[in-house]
A = this chain, B = another copy of it.
């Protein structure tokens, strides 16, 4: 039964039972049906998340195993959600779950999930009176982003009566594999720190926030496991069937569909208030000034990195810009004073075969900096609203959605005390032409310039509009874009380091104390 039908756990009917004969009669068909459906799932472009939550002793792991056994392990993974590793601990709360997304065609069974962890880590450990609102909305965003990207999420809550729970918790063993972590596993049976009614209240609050149409909760009466198993399998089967229905877009049709949108994209009106063209890409700076300024600011950055490292602050530096705008050169100057033990440059190209099997943001989550580290992205997730938009590598609704999704991600990082610095390196068409030609004439640099660069250049207008939209839709107070006049390389190199230093300093100010030292 879905939560829509009945919201309150209190009034939920737990007396339901199934007779053994009836169970034996149906279960094999359900298993057969499931494995038949899974073979269809394996061909899909996205994966399935089955979340199994419930009270302690409600049989989560035995039911997970029933499910695991009914499915083909080639396409199935049981994710036992326990204590975060020290690395996971240091990231945003949802990071570890982004890293555990099923690839295309796969099914991940989450034996407990972000919901239990929210209660264990944020409610109990932090002694909050309830799970923080911002966390619950980050769950909403997480699930919505996945579902709109084509994933299927099926959420179960296994409900048992207080008496049944006491009976089960008396069996010590039930706690040994408990993913509730140290707090959970230490106490035995009845001395659970999670009082039955306390949980009821907590869970109902979570339901109210996270029982969305796209990923609703299914409450399952689990006093009798056989009944729960049958109902769970039936729910999964029907969810898979309707999901597979939706996925049916023949490849050919889909591609034409894409072309149309590409056309529309080009026509699309700009929402830009002002345009990039209104910015003068040339700011003069002579070589001697450059040398002095560069040395000075590099020294400054070198010192700041020590602070950043000891304070454990994560820094994201995003470089986007026109081809030949000098991203590489800026990055070299910006990284040369840094200690390589605490920074990395991530050049972003087209996703590889593995990466394209996930949500487009997945491959960036896997590249997030560690505590106290600086990651410089040479191109970034903004490719979604730039090259992928202009070249039609994704559908219009996909890149349209991306602005909002990216803002959600960046504000989550901001809440986590991470620093985001985004540069758009701006040159004009004449300057780009000069540089392209120069590259072609220099045997050392010829490899740098390809036909693709020339093709992109012809689409300058379309890119201009994409850049305008991007800057206006994703310049937020906590993650603003800095447009870098880059016709003069000297100026661009010094300027980017200056801006980074400034951003770091104010971050160090604002986060005094907050930073978890190393």
A residues near B (Cβ < 8 Å) are: 32, 39, 61, 64-65, 68-69, 72-74, 77-78, 80, 82, 85-87, 109, 111, 173, 176-177, 179, 306, 309-310, 331-332, 335-336, 338-342, 344-347, 349, 352-354, 378, 444, 447
Contact = CB atoms under 8 A, between A and B. Distances in A.
Contacts of A444: 32
Contacts of A77: 344
Given A87-B85, A352-B354, A378 B340 contact: no
Given A80-B341, A85-B85, A353-B353, 13 more contacts: A61-B339, A64-B340, A65-B335, A73-B331, A73-B347, A74-B347, A80-B340, A80-B342, A86-B86, A111-B340, A111-B341, A176-B310, A177-B309
Residue from A73, A86, A352 with most neighbouring chain B CB atoms (10 Å): A73
Q: What is the copy number of this chain in the assembly?
A: 2
Contacts of A309: 176-177
B74 A349 contact: yes
Contact of A342 (B177, B306, B338): B177
Given A176-B310, A310-B176, A341-B80, A336 B85 contact: no
9 contacts: A32-B444, A39-B447, A64-B341, A68-B340, A73-B345, A73-B378, A78-B340, A85-B86, A86-B86
A85 to B, nearest CB: 5
Contacts of A176: 306, 309-310
The 8 closest A-B pairs by CB, nearest first: A80-B341, A73-B345, A78-B340, A65-B340, A74-B347, A177-B341, A177-B339, A64-B340
Given A69-B336, A339-B61, A344 B78 contact: yes
A342 to B, nearest CB: 6
A495 B517 CA distance: 54
Contacts of A344: 77-78
Contacts of A85: 85-87
A306 B346 CA distance: 43
Nearest to A447: B39
A288 to B, nearest CB: 18
A91 to B, nearest CB: 12
Nearest to A103: B352
Contacts of A61: 339-341
A352 B177 CA distance: 33
A159 to B, nearest CB: 20
A69 B335 contact: yes
A173 B78 contact: no
